[in-house]
Amino acid sequence: MIVKSYEINKINFAKIRLFLLYGKNEGLKNETTKFLIGDKSEVFTYDEKEILNSQNEFFENTFTKSLFEPTKKIIIKRASDKILKVIEEVNNKDLEDVKIVINADNLEKKSKLRSFFEKDKNLICITFYPDNDRTLLKLAYSFLKEKKIIISSENINTIVSKCNGDRENLLNELNKIENYSKSGKKINNETIARLTNLAENFSISELVDNCLAKNKNKTLNILNENNFSNEDCIVITRTFLNKSKKILSLSNDYQDNKNMDLTISAAKPPIFWKDKEITKQQIAKWSPNKIRMLIYKVNELELIVKKNLSNSINLVTDFVLEQSTNKTNNLV
């Protein structure tokens, strides 16, 4: 059965024993997993590979009643269609005292695991789409209001824009700010920069910004000056994707009003003043059609990088240099 992510708090899941959570929003998936699992009693966590390599051990643990807890709680991470037969066998058993939450990345419509959960009214299937700046800003303002922490709108916008569209990153940074606020000291620009990971994320954000602005020399310099790791490559592709989506929205607005300053000033959420000039360059370089094509290519790149992590630096570097060099304009 399909359930929308925003409906979770409205539905009684008491009798549901199997949940599939999939999509790109890792932060919201983790929040929902904690909500479904409930209190912090004993939880068994498995990776899909562990289960596939030791199925009998998994079944024995799953079907053996707990001596200490009324409900056995299990989380399965990084799931794919490979685990479907295991889930089918579990579903055929009496699950009154077992609750299983399965986490997966993006699952296509043709996914057999996704289809299995969608068609069964006794199973729950929830899709988690990426957050945008608007939802993250709402989350940040709500968090700070609840904690009675005062921070300027400019600083809030900065924190959100540097979190690469990741709810979990944002909450990590907000928690740091909350802990600091307990000291009673005033929170200013310098405090925000010191407490958060903005300095670490800056080089990646700057790299993508200059690439999208077609500043080839600056892009090359950033690549040469930073020793990016294989793990950084996923962050780079996610940053590319989030910034490209912003440019698509702004480019569409610019096509309508033909006024660059109006496009920038009317942007929601507001563009940080330091980013306005380079954002103008990006809008001028990319038409809506071209940026849509770029978004498609970035999604493809991320899939390739995940499958070839050992070669990800070369893959991402080649892609960044290609995009910073290619000529494009708003007339295409």
- Are 219 and 295 in a shared domain? yes
Cis-peptide, bond into residue 269, ω within 30° of zero: yes
pLDDT of residue 326: 67
Is 330 a residue whose pLDDT tops 80? no
Residues 21 and 99 both lie in one domain: yes
Q: 196, 228, 246 — which closes off a domain?
A: 196
Q: Do 111 and 144 belong to one domain?
A: no
Indicate the residue among 74, 102, 128 that finishes a domain. Answer: 128
The model's confidence at residue 291, banded by pLDDT at 50, 70 and 90, is very high
Q: Is the pLDDT of residue 129 over 80?
A: yes
pLDDT level of residue 331 (50, 70, 90 thresholds): very low
User: Is 169 among the domain residues?
Assistant: yes
Chosen domain end from 168, 196, 224: 196
**What mean pLDDT comes out for the span 154-173?**
80
Alpha-carbon span 118 to 125, nearest angstrom: 6
Residue 82 pLDDT: 95
Range picked from 3-12, 163-172, 180-189, 271-280 for highest mean pLDDT: 271-280
| Confidence at residue 153, expressed as pLDDT on a 0 to 100 scale | 87
Indicate whether 25 and 139 sit together in one domain.
no
Read off the pLDDT of each residue in 136-155 and give the average, rounded to a whole number.
Answer: 90
Q: Is there a single domain that holds both residue 210 and residue 192?
A: no
pLDDT, tens digit (0-9, with 9 covering 90-100), for 231-272: 788 889 988 998 999 999 999 999 988 999 999 988 877 887
Q: Which of 34-48, 135-149, 181-195 bottoms out in mean pLDDT, i.e. has the lowest?
A: 181-195
Give the per-residue pLDDT at 292: 93
Q: In this structure, are 75 and 119 located in the same domain?
A: yes
pLDDT of 217 over the 70 cut: yes
The enclosing domain of 11 has a CATH number of 3.40.50.300
Mean pLDDT of 305-312: 85
Separation of alpha carbons 73 and 16, rounded Å: 12
pTM above 0.75, yes or no: no
List the Cα angle 161/163/164 in 5-degree steps. 85
User: Can you give the residue range of the structural domain that contains 45?
Assistant: 2-128
Residue 332: per-residue pLDDT? 39
Within a domain: residue 267?
yes
Number of domains in the chain: 3
When pLDDT is cut at 50, 70 and 90, the band that residue 124 belongs to is very high
Residue 23 sits in the same domain as residue 103: yes
Determine, yes or no, domain membership for 45: yes
Residues making up the chain, counted from first to last: 332
Say whether both 148 and 220 belong to one domain.
Answer: no
Does the pLDDT of residue 113 top 80, yes or no? yes
Q: Is residue 289 part of a domain?
A: yes
- The answer to whether residue 331 is domain-embedded is no
DSSP 124-190: EEEEEPPP-HHHHHHHHHHHHHHHT----HHHHHHHHHTTTT-HHHHHHHHHHHHHHHTTT----HH
Same domain, yes or no, for 13 and 124? Answer: yes
Q: What is the pLDDT of residues 100-109, one digit of tens each?
A: 999 998 899 9
Domain containing residue 306: CATH number: 1.20.272.10
Residue 207 and residue 192 share a domain? no
Q: Are residues 123 and 35 in the same domain?
A: yes
pLDDT at 200: 52
Q: How many whole angstroms separate alpha carbon 299 and alpha carbon 237?
A: 8
Q: pLDDT (tens digit, 9 = 90+) per residue, 19-71? A: 999 998 888 888 899 889 886 667 899 999 999 999 999 999 898 877 767 78
- Give the whole-number percent of the chain exceeding pLDDT 90: 43
Higher pLDDT, 180 or 139: 139
pLDDT for 328 beyond 60:
no
